[in-house]
């Protein structure tokens, strides 16, 4: 089938408009530009109009096909005007103005009326010759109402034209490109109206008008999109540089804070050690000075020399015990305990209760531990931790609840076992909860403990792959949780007695 020059222009214009439509839709959907998605409708309706113009200069199409495509082209022209009105509202991110809503209503009427036979277009076919181009156009003849409809379609384009003229006068970048494209489109519409009426002998140029306005507007928006992408890339680069600087500064600040915290912890530890060791050390020095003075005078040892030596030995043992407790408290950061094995929880709890009650005769303990439940731990160390917690529970209840009963329970949760020790004391004050596991921190009165019990217990638990944490505290009691890995029972249970270790308070 031979295509005339106008038919070739229609096909080319339709293809280019479809490419612009696809590009606008892709940028709009993937880049989040709603106005690009709206402009894709403008380009699609322009391509549809170009296709509808193809039969007018192609002899292979019948007169009936020409009539049908002429009607559809008027409907598409109405849709094209409506798509421009939709684009304006989306671009400015606003609801349509009242006059735009009225124009959309007019466009809808045009679409419906154009598809009804003999309302806009009759079935009569007229010709329009352009001898110098060697082309004869075949057109369905419009009714009187159809002429007005064609004028209304062109008038719909005045809305975006006036809109972009105002923006161009305000100096908005690329608004002039839209003005030129829309003005050329309106001019081609006027040309086709005069040519179809036989006033002038020029070819129909509306296909070029559709192509020009879509390419101009689409190119302007793509240019704006590229500029925005470059600006975004530059902003991203600046942001990455800023984040890198802030991260480096934050890392340095965190490092300085960590060093300060370590120094503060060392200072607190040193103060605690000095306080705890100072008293027994002073007693040893006083006794040695007391014994040295008569010896220096040649009088021999005083009668109470043995008492002085016993007191000094007791003080030295206290110093040694404090040092051992500090080593236990530091196990969380040191080597892990290697002597771990399956331990029956009920057996360890019974041993801990017996040991705790030896020093806290008034302590009563309710035990709820499932028989046969085992954990992977060092049994001696686990018993020591439980003894420390039970002694703390007894001291917490003290005079406030002289007949209070502590509770020990254990349950399996997946591959872990949680042992809980609860007392019915007054609870832990809010200001003490964050420091309760720190060495030498205690809420007990003078002479009632070193403040190492929980710190030592935490270190012992972590050295076995477990943990110790505060689960709950209130004015009616406190619950601490001991967590250890679950273990299957060994074929032969150990029968050796557990080593008795003094509780750390």
List, as one string, the DSSP characters of 193-250.
HHHHTTSS-----HHHHHHHHHHHHHHHHHHHHHHHHHHHHHHHHHHHHHHHHHHHHH
User: What tens-digit pLDDT sequence spans the chain (505 residues)?
Assistant: 567 888 888 899 899 989 988 988 888 786 567 888 888 998 999 899 999 988 988 888 999 999 999 999 999 999 999 998 998 898 888 898 888 899 889 999 999 999 999 999 999 998 888 888 888 888 888 898 988 898 888 888 888 889 889 989 998 887 888 888 888 888 888 888 888 878 888 898 888 888 888 888 777 777 777 777 788 888 888 999 899 999 989 988 888 887 776 666 566 666 666 656 776 788 888 888 888 888 887 777 888 888 888 888 888 887 787 777 666 655 544 455 557 889 999 999 998 888 888 878 788 889 998 888 999 998 888 888 898 888 888 888 875 565 568 899 999 988 999 999 999 888 888 888 888 887 777 766 555 556 677 887 888 888 888 899 999 988 888 999 999 999 988 765 544 444 444 454 4
Cα angle: 281, vertex 320, 381; to 5 degrees: 150
* CA dist., res. 42 & res. 107, Å (int): 14
User: How confident is the model over 239-295, as pLDDT tens digits?
Assistant: 998 999 999 899 888 888 877 766 665 666 666 666 567 767 888 888 888 888 888
CATH of the structural domain 338-485, one choice from 3.40.640.10, 3.30.565.10, 3.10.20.30, 3.40.50.11540: 3.30.565.10
Domain residue extents for the chain? 5-219, 338-485
For residue 173 the two structure tokens come to 């970048």
User: How confident is the model over 37-54, as pLDDT tens digits?
Assistant: 888 998 999 899 999 988
Residues 6+ apart with CB under 8 A from 31: 225
For residue 227 the two structure tokens come to 């500029």
The helix, strand and coil proportions of the chain, stated in percent and rounded to the nearest 5, come to 60, 15, 25
For residue 430 the two structure tokens come to 């809010």
pTM: 0.49
Cα 38 to the chain's mean position, in Å? 31
List of long-range contacts for 108-113, beta carbons under 8 Å, 24+ apart: 108/78, 108/82, 109/78, 110/74, 110/75, 110/77, 110/78, 110/81, 110/149, 110/152, 110/153, 111/75, 111/78, 111/79, 113/145, 113/149
CATH of the structural domain 5-219, one choice from 1.20.1070, 1.20.58, 3.40.50, 1.10.3470: 1.20.1070
Number of other CB atoms surrounding residue 441 within 10 Å: 16
Separation of first and last alpha carbons in the chain: 104
Residues 6+ apart with CB under 8 A from 297: none
Q: Single out the residue of 450, 454, 452 nearest to residue 467, CA to CA.
A: 454
Q: Single out the residue of 119, 115, 139 nearest to residue 129, CA to CA.
A: 139
């Amino acid at each position: 089938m031979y295509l005339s020059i106008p038919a070739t222009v229609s096909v080319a214009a339709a293809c280019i408009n479809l490419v612009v439509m696809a590009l606008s839709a892709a940028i709009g959907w993937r880049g989040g530009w709603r106005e690009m998605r709206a402009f894709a409708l403008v380009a699609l309706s322009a391509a549809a109009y170009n296709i509808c113009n193809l039969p007018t200069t192609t002899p292979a199409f019948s007169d009936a096909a020409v009539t049908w495509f002429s009607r559809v082209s008027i409907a598409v022209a109405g849709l094209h005007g409506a798509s421009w009105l939709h684009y304006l509202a989306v671009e400015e991110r606003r609801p349509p103005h009242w006059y735009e809503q009225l124009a959309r209503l007019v466009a809808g009427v045009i679409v419906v009326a154009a598809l009804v036979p003999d309302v806009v277009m009759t079935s009569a076919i007229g010709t329009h010759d352009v001898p110098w181009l060697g082309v004869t156009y075949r057109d369905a003849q419009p009714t009187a109402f159809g002429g007005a409809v064609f004028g209304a379609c062109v008038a719909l384009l005045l809305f975006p034209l006036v809109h972009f003229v105002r923006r161009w006068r305000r100096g908005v970048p690329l608004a002039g490109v839209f003005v030129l494209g829309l003005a050329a489109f309106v001019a081609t519409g006027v040309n086709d109206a005069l040519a179809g009426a036989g006033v002038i002998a020029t070819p129909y140029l509306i296909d070029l008008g559709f192509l020009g306005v879509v390419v101009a507007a689409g190119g302007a928006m793509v240019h704006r999109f590229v500029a925005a992408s470059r600006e975004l890339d530059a902003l991203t680069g600046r942001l990455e540089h800023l984040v890198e600087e802030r991260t480096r500064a934050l890392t340095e600040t965190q490092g300085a804070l960590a060093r300060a915290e370590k120094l503060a912890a060392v200072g607190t530890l040193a103060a605690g050690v000095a306080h705890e060791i100072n008293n027994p050390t002073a007693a040893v020095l006083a006794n040695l000075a007391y014994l040295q003075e008569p010896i220096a005078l040649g009088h021999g040892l005083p009668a109470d020399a043995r008492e002085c030596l016993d007191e000094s030995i007791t003080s030295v043992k206290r110093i040694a015990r404090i040092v051992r407790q500090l080593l236990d408290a530091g196990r969380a950061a040191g080597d892990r305990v290697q002597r771990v094995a399956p331990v029956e929880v009920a057996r360890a709890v019974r041993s801990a209760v017996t040991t705790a009650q030896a020093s806290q005769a008034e302590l009563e303990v309710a035990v709820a531990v499932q028989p046969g439940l085992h954990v992977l731990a060092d049994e001696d160390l686990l018993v020591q931790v439980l003894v420390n917690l039970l002694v703390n529970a007894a001291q917490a209840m003290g005079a406030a609840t002289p007949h209070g009963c502590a509770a020990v329970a254990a349950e399996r949760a997946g591959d872990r076992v949680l042992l809980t020790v609860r007392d019915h004391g007054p609870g832990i004050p809010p200001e003490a909860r964050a420091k309760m596991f720190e060495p030498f921190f205690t809420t007990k009165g003078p002479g009632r403990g070193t403040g190492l019990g929980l710190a030592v217990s935490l270190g012992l638990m972590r050295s076995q792959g477990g943990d110790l944490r505060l689960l709950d505290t209130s004015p009616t009691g406190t619950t601490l949780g001991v967590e250890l890995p679950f273990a299957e029972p060994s074929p032969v249970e150990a029968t050796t007695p557990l080593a008795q270790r003094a509780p750390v308070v």
